[in-house]
Amino acid sequence: MKKVRLKDLAQMAGVSETTVSLVLNGRPSRISQAKRDEIEALAELHHYRANHLARSLSTQTTHTIGLIVPDIENPFFATVAKVITNTLSKEGYMVLIANSDESLEADKRLIKELLDRQVDGLILCVSNESNASQAFYEKVIQKIDVPYVLLDRGYQNVDENQVLFDSYYGSYIATQYLIEKGHTGIACITGKLDTFVGKRRLEGYTAAMADANLHVDEAMIFEGDFRYKSAQVHVPQIIANEMITAVFASNDIMAYALVSELLKQQDRDIEVVGYDNLELSNMFGYVIASVAQDVEALGSHAVNILFEGIKNKKKLPNVVLKPYLHKV
């Protein structure tokens, strides 16, 4: 079957190509509603599809945005992707979502592949490996030649185009909550400590402990990488340490790794506070307090910064959002 072109539809309807283009793109035109209906019916009848490649060549835009996330299985990043996709869709943009699986090499490859596809901009939530490497920022991210935004996992001493939550504050209020409930033996399951987010969440925990004149015992600090298994390996040590009565976990995935094991124990009462406030309680049958983050605000600010780069060729100062504690 011969592919129907815009020119063909115009001839069938007895109007100009410009008029057909305006109608099919939902833009105002001076033609009657009856003629508009006729054009739309012809397009549907003949299975007309717009030639986006030709349009992008003429406008130098593709109306596509690349989004890279580090772990699409993590409900937090899945929610972030959904929010950003929905927000950009309302502005007429398609989003190409790529998963780096927490790999620096994958980040490099995916950035190149998305740029090769002529995306108009990039939103990057980099992997732990990339976040731990200042060289990655300097050699890869700074050389990106389209507008971009760094999301959630930022870099220290970078003051533009980042949208982040205040991880220090979030972990501080989570630890403070446990202290106020009377706990003194508070352990911490950290994120990767060579990353900015991992370090800041540990710093918030240690600051809250210090402000309460509580000793920070190195034997109560367990390094994870924000994934379930990375916390699961520490569970036996945590349960065996009778000094530990509470744990602050640097995200909910790791928090529930501990919770799932504690639910099997009858003789250990350890209170757990998480981070991200994910909807995991139905899965585990147990609700914990958790640091909540406004993902809608995160996505909205990221899109605003990206559009400022696309439309006005400007970079904007970092946006740092305040989390809050969702108590039980």
Mean pLDDT, the chain, rounded, equals 91
Which position has the higher pLDDT, 58 or 95?
95
- Please give the residue that has the higher pLDDT: either 280 or 303: 303
Name the region of 85 (left: φ>0; alpha: ψ -120 to 50; beta: rest). Answer: alpha
φ and ψ at 98, to 5 degrees? -130, 145
Mean pLDDT of 64-91: 93
Average pLDDT over residues 210-216: 96
Mean pLDDT across 139-143: 94
Residue 55 in this model has a pLDDT that exceeds 60: no
More confident residue, 94 or 7: 94
The pair phi, psi for residue 50, each rounded to 5°, is -65, 145
Q: How far apart are CA 148 and CA 303, in angstroms?
A: 10
* Contact call for residues 319 and 297 (beta carbons, < 8 A): no
Given a cut of 50, whether residue 2 has pLDDT beyond it is: yes
pLDDT of res. 60:
59
Could you tell me the pTM of the whole model?
A: 0.79
Q: Percent of the chain, pLDDT > 70?
A: 96
pLDDT tens string 165-191: 999 999 999 999 999 999 999 999 999
Q: Is 80 exceeded by the pLDDT of residue 69?
A: yes
Q: How far is CA 129 from CA 24, 163, 302, in A?
A: 45, 19, 22
